[in-house]
Every structure is written in structure tokens, then in C-alpha cells.
Chain A
């Protein structure tokens, strides 16, 4: 068991180091994050002045930071899986003493963790500098970050699952993009769901994005143990469903690879 785990740990750490060495990529990511925070801070500042509400930007920008940490840190797992499946590369791995799917997932998590950590550090300093007093108590901040990291892991799992749809589709790019956008909307990734009409929130509650994004990120301005428990329980439920789909698709995939030989 420990030996098996150590293989995956090795994959995680190799991917972590590789991602860490891509300085140009990481600088581009941080630049994009800075621009997002800068723009939306300005937007909420203007709305705050217009509506005569102070501190509006602090609440929304901390929320935006955590949302972007989850979304932007995720590597393009669906493309990796799609390429593996379509090109037949997967066939090289299926007979190795390692699960192809877990291998790719661990690599994804390693990659994601580097971006997540850097964006967390850089974004927190930038957001603090832009907005001043945060809408949360600092003692809860590590816990909120941990919850967001877990959401990021679920996010990677979700997109890995989308990659497995290469089994049925010729192109995965638009499907992934459509899901990304649905996640933005139903997960309240740019604007929290609290500003959306009630009928819309009722629909969003039926999607995985509601808990993976909104309920988790909302902890930054509305922390309570009840909210945390609600997010954790719902996330567990959605992980179960995603895993069910992945297990089904993966078993189909292995049969297909056997037939065609990659």
C-alpha cells in the first residue's frame, strides 16, 4: 500500500518540480491574476461609490481571488487525456504497474498545486494591498485555503473526467470550454450567486459547481462551521458521482484500447 502510494507521490513531486521550473508560464499566470484583481477591484470600487456602500470591493475581490485560484490553477487535464486517448499514447501505459488514470491525476494535482500556492501568496498580498481590511478573520484563513485547495483537486478530477469523453467525441475543446463557462455562471466564479435572481440560484444548486465553487469560496466572507460542513458534505457527494462516471468511462476505454491496440 505504502509502496503503491510512494509511486504516486513521486509522480506528484516530479510534476510539481516541473511546473515550478516553468517560470515564464507562472509569471504569465500571475500577470493575468493581477489584471483580473485590478480590473474587478475597480469595477466594485465604482459600484461601491455609486451605491454609497463601503468595503464592497474587499468582499468581492477576496471572493474573486479564491475563485480564480481554483479555476486558473487547474491544468488543461481534458486536453492531456484527449491527446493520450486519440493518439493512442495511453496504450503504452495500461500494461505498466501503475494506474494510467491515477498517474495523470497525480501529475495534474502536482501541476495545480504550484499555481495554487503561488497565486495564493501573490494574490493575497495584492488583494490586501488593493482592498485593505479583509472580510474574514485571519485565524480561519488557512482553513478556507485548504477547502479551496480540495475544491481545486475536485476541479482537476472533473476536467480529467471530461477528457475521458474523448472516447465518444472528436473534439473536446468546446465541450470543456462550455463546462468552464457553466462553472463560471453556476459556480458564481466572477460574481457571487448572491447577486443572481432566486430562480437562477435554484437551478445552480443542482449542479456540482454550486458547492465546488460557490459554497466553498463563500466561506471567505461568510465563514461558519455550518457553511463549512455543508460545502464539505455536498463536495463529497459530487466527488462520488464524478468517480462513478470516471470508473464507467475508464472501463469502456480500456476495452477499446485492447481492441484497437492504441
Chain B
């Protein structure tokens, strides 16, 4: 009962913050819209590069452009969710280094939750546009697949978010880790945006363990295309494990945190 009550309070707060973010973004409607359009163009130009490759080569180890479109659909949708609703976690190293984390620790809500929702980039609505567009041109459009795509994107988001929390929490244990975390996160996204079919043998081991990018590309595509129950299970269990691990590391990190003696509440 208490947990449900707590959950609804957090949900209410989350919705309130999102409403404020939207209001802030729409203070300058033209600017907001231009940013979304630019983000979409930005994504589409990257996808265009892959389209050229597939035009030249046909398939790459069995993957065709339709498979890549599915991959980009899931990646972009998951990233949009991260950037719009949980991007604050990317700023965690900065909060830790300059003591701003104090502001979040005094909140009655979970500090990780508060940090996560503290930042949102409106331009990333363009990622949703790209994600849905890619799904609709993938050649795998059915009503059932649409919901599988949404589910796969949700799992991909949880993996993405958990990895980012782990990387950001490094700042509890070492200083000046902002760019280190950013670069490893970028590497993870880069890994995830390649045709999964190129990773065989020990490449596949790295792809699924050290940098768990397979959860963003290989399994979502297998799940949507082939309705694979195994892929669903792996994604589901993988995201739960990664999420719990991220929370655990964050909580361990908090024990190492020394306050910056700053005033103010977020």
C-alpha cells in the first residue's frame, strides 16, 4: 500500500515536471520546432549513410535495410525516452563533483529519480519522429509488431538508462569522469547502431557482455521480426538485472559522497 502510494506520488511529480518542461520549451515555439526538425534531419542523414551502404551491398551477412530500419526505430525511440525523461542522470558526475547533489539528497523522493528527471532536451522529440518513421518504412508493419516495437523500445531504454547510471556513478569513486562516461556511453550507442549480423564469434561475446549493445540491436530486431520468445526473455531479464545493478552501484556510490555544503532544494 505504501509502495503504491509512493509510486503514484512519484508519477504525479514526474508528470508535473514534464508539463513544466513542455511549457518552457513552448515559450519559444519557433525555436522548439526548429530544434525538433534539425534533430530529425540529423538522424535521417545518419540513416541515409546506411541506406547508401545497403544500396551498394544488398545485404550484410544476412541483414538488409529493413532490419536496419527496425534497429534505428528501436534505438531512436529508446534514446528519445532517455533524453526527454531521464537525461539528468548524464549530469550526475557534474552534480557530484561540484556538490550540487546535496540539493537532490534533501528531497523526500528517491535522489536518483530526482536527478534523472532534472533535465530534458526538447529537441529529442525528433528522435521519436525518426523512430516511428523508421518502423513504418521497415517493411515489418503490422498491428502486433507495432506493440512489440514499443515493448522492445522500453526494454532498450531501461538498458540504456541503467548503463548511463553506472557510468555516471563512477564519479562517486573518481574525479573528472564526465567525459569518460560520455565516451563509453557513445561507444555503447555506436556499437548498438551497427548491423548485429557482423558480430560473430568472440566479437559477439563483447557485443553482449562488456558492452551490452546487443540488447539494443540484436534482440529487439529478432523479437519484432521473428516474434522470438527467447529474445523477449533475454531482453526482459537483461533489463531487470542491469537496472538493479545500476541502482545498487548508485547506492554504494552515495556512501562515498561527501557533501558540498550547498544550500538549496530541488
Contact = CB atoms under 8 A, between A and B. Distances in A.
Q: Is the interface of B mostly helix, strand, loop or mixed?
A: helix
Interface string B69-80: 000000000000
Contacts of A177: 38-39, 42
A35 B39 CA distance: 25
Contact of B35 (A39, A171, A191): A171
Given A28-B183, A32-B190, A178-B38, 5 more contacts: A25-B176, A43-B194, A171-B31, A185-B48, A196-B52
Contacts of A169: 31
A169 B31 CA distance: 8
A82 to B, nearest CB: 14
24 contacts: A32-B184, A39-B190, A39-B194, A43-B195, A46-B197, A50-B57, A50-B60, A169-B31, A171-B31, A173-B121, A173-B123, A174-B34, A177-B38, A177-B39, A178-B39, A181-B42, A181-B46, A184-B45, A184-B46, A185-B48, A191-B52, A195-B53, A196-B52, A197-B55
Interface string B186-229: 11001100110111000100000001000000000000000000
A46 B61 contact: yes
Contacts of B46: 181, 184-185
A75 B194 CA distance: 26
Nearest to B123: A174
Given A25-B180, A43-B198, A191-B52, A35 B42 contact: no
B255 interface: no
B174 interface: yes
B3 interface: no
Given A39-B194, A46-B198, A178-B38, A28 B182 contact: yes
A118 to B, nearest CB: 13
A170 interface: yes
Interface residues of B, number: 43
| Interface-centre pick from A27, A32, A185, A200 (highest chain B CB count, 10 A) | A32
A190 interface: yes
Contacts of A197: 52, 55
A18 B45 CA distance: 35
Contacts of A190: 49
A29 B41 CA distance: 26
Interface in B41-71: 41-42, 45-46, 48-49, 52-53, 55-57, 60-61
A182 interface: yes
Contact of A50 (B61, B184, B191): B61
Contact of B39 (A22, A51, A174, A185): A174
A42 B198 contact: yes
B210 to A, nearest CB: 10
A220 B203 CA distance: 27
Q: Is the interface of A mostly helix, strand, loop or mixed?
A: helix
B187 A32 contact: yes
User: Which 9 residue pairs of A and B lie closest in terms of their CB atoms, listed nearest first?
Assistant: A28-B183, A28-B180, A35-B187, A25-B179, A32-B183, A178-B38, A181-B42, A174-B35, A24-B180
B177 interface: yes
Given A35-B190, A174-B39, A42 B184 contact: no
Contacts of B55: 197
A24 B179 contact: yes
Contacts of A25: 176, 178-180
B142 interface: no
A174 B123 CA distance: 7
A68 to B, nearest CB: 11
